[in-house]
Amino acid sequence: MKCPKCGAETENGKFCLNCGAAITTSQTANIATPTNNNISSNQIQQQLDIQREQLRIQQAQLNLQVQNEAKK
């Protein structure tokens, strides 16, 4: 798909990856909905995985703090 503003070839989406211009809904109408849902679901799952890992690290740090305080 070509961006209407800069003419660059861009991936299917709401914005041009080159200049950031909005891609209108008529230009994205040919995108299959299941593909969009899969991409969104994958992105959400990746974010959830990252957050889970961050929470796991924070919990481990808190456990170490508690252990250190107990030794004092």
- Note the pLDDT of residue 37: 56
- Note the pLDDT of residue 2: 79
Are residues 17 and 41 located together in one domain of the fold?
no
Are residues 38 and 65 located together in one domain of the fold?
yes
- Note the pLDDT of residue 23: 79
Are residues 41 and 67 located together in one domain of the fold?
yes
* Full residue range of the structural domain in which residue 56 is found: 33-71
The count of structural domains within the chain is 2
CB atoms within 10 A of CB 21: 14
Q: What's the length of the chain?
A: 72
Phi, psi for 60 (deg, rounded to 5)? -65, -40
pTM of the predicted model as reported, rounded to 2 decimal places = 0.44
Q: Are 6 and 21 in contact (CB under 8 A)?
A: yes
Q: Are 19 and 6 in contact (CB under 8 A)?
A: yes
Helix (H) or strand (E) holding 44: helix 33-71
Residue 28, pLDDT above cutoff 80: no
Overall average pLDDT of the 41-63 stretch: 92
